[in-house]
Chains A and B, each alone.
Chain A
């Protein structure tokens, strides 16, 4: 890290132990905000309204600047946080109403309406900010903190204000959990059930406005969207259950907020907002790779496992076909090689696997035979393959010359349920079945003995 030279252990330890009063204030404020944004962000993501949150956050700038101007004019301390946040709330809500009005009364599409609201409100905010910079005293310089985030400026009353807002948002999401879940999953059904979906949408947007406003100090208005979107997206890689997704998203948010704020305390002049977002981004990448539900490592392992199973089953079936007439007969590696299109390395590896799994055992000089366990597995695998071949021929009108290849693909994913169905289907016409001219000999119609 660039600032590693300045990173000394005593300050790190005192940071971790929350020894410093200021640190505790920042952890409280940022942590509460990030936790709540992870919670409400999950519903926002599932309602597919993340862009609206971006509009809201950008639209807070004119409100902040106006509140500062009006507050100063009225002789109040212009930088008082509640006043500025009240201004931010007002313009944030106005932006939402603007978007809704445009979408519902004109033919302008939603994405265009969002773009218009975002740019116009933000443009107005920049214009007003420059007015603030020109007119006001040095105290005006603090407005930058709302654009890029500056936790260092946070005082204890700010932190409690943030915690209060966060508590309201979390309470709403927990209290209306079942309604929000229904709204996000199936709004038409929710409406048919008499749920006021417009009111719930407004509540969700209200919660987002609140989160945006309390997050301004921590991450700034440009990056606040990240903490609404990134934690839920990361959490989705870990669970398929909404309750858990919400919890994990809250956790990702909390860790991002606290770790990011901590880093910004250690690295002088580092903007806290950027660091918080970078930490959440790192957690997202980690989830994308290692996530238990859809992470790429997991999927890769699954694919590899399937590949292995396929190879094993092909090997077993090849062995079985060689000794089908007399299970005790031995065979050579060469015979196996001739029975199937193998590449030499693959076959050698499968021989190793077969020996290690005790499916085959040596029988004299470079001869092998199937063990009892190997025979049973091989019989089952072969049976599945042939069941599927027969199904393709009798029920799917696939040309018999193609069924072997098709069955090769499908036999490995047949589960017990499908096999039972196949058996029931084929039992009826099994007697009349003509043996398909497949590359494999089919001495009996249905190999029996091995239950699936």
Chain B
């Protein structure tokens, strides 16, 4: 953790006043560039989103506008709903309430603008495809139905593999890749899509140091190209080094904003507080009502 974050948290004027447990009003993100208030400029705008699994809420009243062209860490303890938030944005899990817009439009109309990097464990790496085949899947969205993968798509896929340093591994069956290389293949697949907003679910989870370096280099290049990248991240120590913005999540947005303002010990305590929060208790109660007969 960087000391700057700790030094600043004493003066309340520096960071946005984050709501306590009882407050459902979330602070607005700090001042953005002119015109950013227009939702069409906002890569991701989440309004009043609640998500429940089998009636048990896992995310409450999420209110968030992502700043454009930034690297944003999504941080919180296990079970905080980080993956769920990403999935709910992409309509992969149903929302109990709320509205999400991507550059001012609902997600289903903006799919091509959103690149998704799922968790590495979410697929069977024994599947009979090559690294290039997987990366080319990033192009399917722009290919119509029934259209086979063409030469231009393979070219784009190769280029994406090159960007993550796996040029020589294109024809490898994916089982033969190391964990870090598999993670980079997923990253390359999202790159091949050439999106504007990227949602990444723990791309740094159990990867080797070389892969972590390679990924962060790619992320910085993406930011330089004006992309917005939201990354579910576990390693608190590297947050200040890798990211400029952070969202602290624990079933609700505890705080969000620039890392130097928001990434404070106090906010982290609120996010990672050991005791059951009232929210969690309420969620349990709601879930019990759905108990099996």
Query: Which residues of A are in contact with B by a Cβ distance under 8 Å?
Result: 46, 107, 175-179, 181-182, 184-186, 188-189, 191-195, 236, 239-242, 245
**CB-CB contacts below 8 Å: B212-249 with A:** none
Q: Is B46's CB within 8 Å of the partner chain A?
A: no
Q: Of B123, B130, B140, B146, which is within 8 A of A193 by CB?
A: B140
Contact across chains for B108 and A185 when beta carbons are under 8 A apart: no
14 pairs of residues in contact across A and B, judged by CB atoms under 8 Å: A175-B146, A178-B143, A184-B127, A185-B123, A185-B127, A185-B137, A188-B122, A192-B92, A193-B111, A193-B141, A240-B175, A241-B128, A241-B130, A245-B128
Q: Is B12's CB within 8 Å of the partner chain A?
A: no
Contact across chains for A239 and B137 when beta carbons are under 8 A apart: no
Contact across chains for B137 and A189 when beta carbons are under 8 A apart: yes
Contact across chains for A176 and B130 when beta carbons are under 8 A apart: no
Give 3 closest A-B pairs by Cβ, nearest first: A240-B173, A192-B116, A193-B141
Q: Of A178, A192, A195, A242, which is within 8 A of B128 by CB?
A: A242
Contact across chains for A192 and B129 when beta carbons are under 8 A apart: no
Q: Of A178, A186, A195, which is within 8 A of B149 by CB?
A: A178
Q: Is B35's CB within 8 Å of the partner chain A?
A: no
Whole-angstrom CA separation of A404 from B146 in the bound complex: 57
Closest to B201 in A: A188
Q: How big is the B interface, by class?
A: 20 to 34
Give the one of B87, B129, B149 with max A CB within 10 A. Answer: B129
| A interface footprint on B143-166 (CB within 8 Å = 1, 0 otherwise) | 101111100000000000000000
Residues of B within 8 A of A191 (CB): 90-92
- In whole Å, how far is A40's beta carbon from the nearest beta carbon of chain B? 16
Whole-angstrom CA separation of A182 from B141 in the bound complex: 11
Residues of B within 8 A of A179 (CB): 140, 145
Contact across chains for B123 and A186 when beta carbons are under 8 A apart: yes
Q: Is B292's CB within 8 Å of the partner chain A?
A: yes
Contact across chains for A185 and B114 when beta carbons are under 8 A apart: no
Whole-angstrom CA separation of A386 from B61 in the bound complex: 60
Contact across chains for A194 and B111 when beta carbons are under 8 A apart: yes
Contact across chains for B140 and A182 when beta carbons are under 8 A apart: yes
- In whole Å, how far is A172's beta carbon from the nearest beta carbon of chain B? 11
- In whole Å, how far is A387's beta carbon from the nearest beta carbon of chain B? 18
Residues of B within 8 A of A181 (CB): 129, 133, 137
Q: Is B207's CB within 8 Å of the partner chain A?
A: no
Residues of A within 8 A of B108 (CB): 194
| A interface footprint on B112-144 (CB within 8 Å = 1, 0 otherwise) | 001010100011100111100110010011010
Whole-angstrom CA separation of A245 from B122 in the bound complex: 23
Q: A189-B118, A192-B116 are in contact. Are A240 and B90 (CB under 8 A)?
A: no
Contact across chains for B111 and A239 when beta carbons are under 8 A apart: no
- In whole Å, how far is A187's beta carbon from the nearest beta carbon of chain B? 9
Whole-angstrom CA separation of A178 from B111 in the bound complex: 18
Contact across chains for A186 and B122 when beta carbons are under 8 A apart: yes
Residues of B within 8 A of A241 (CB): 128-130, 173
Whole-angstrom CA separation of A242 from B126 in the bound complex: 11
Q: Of A46, A176, A182, which is within 8 A of B137 by CB?
A: A182
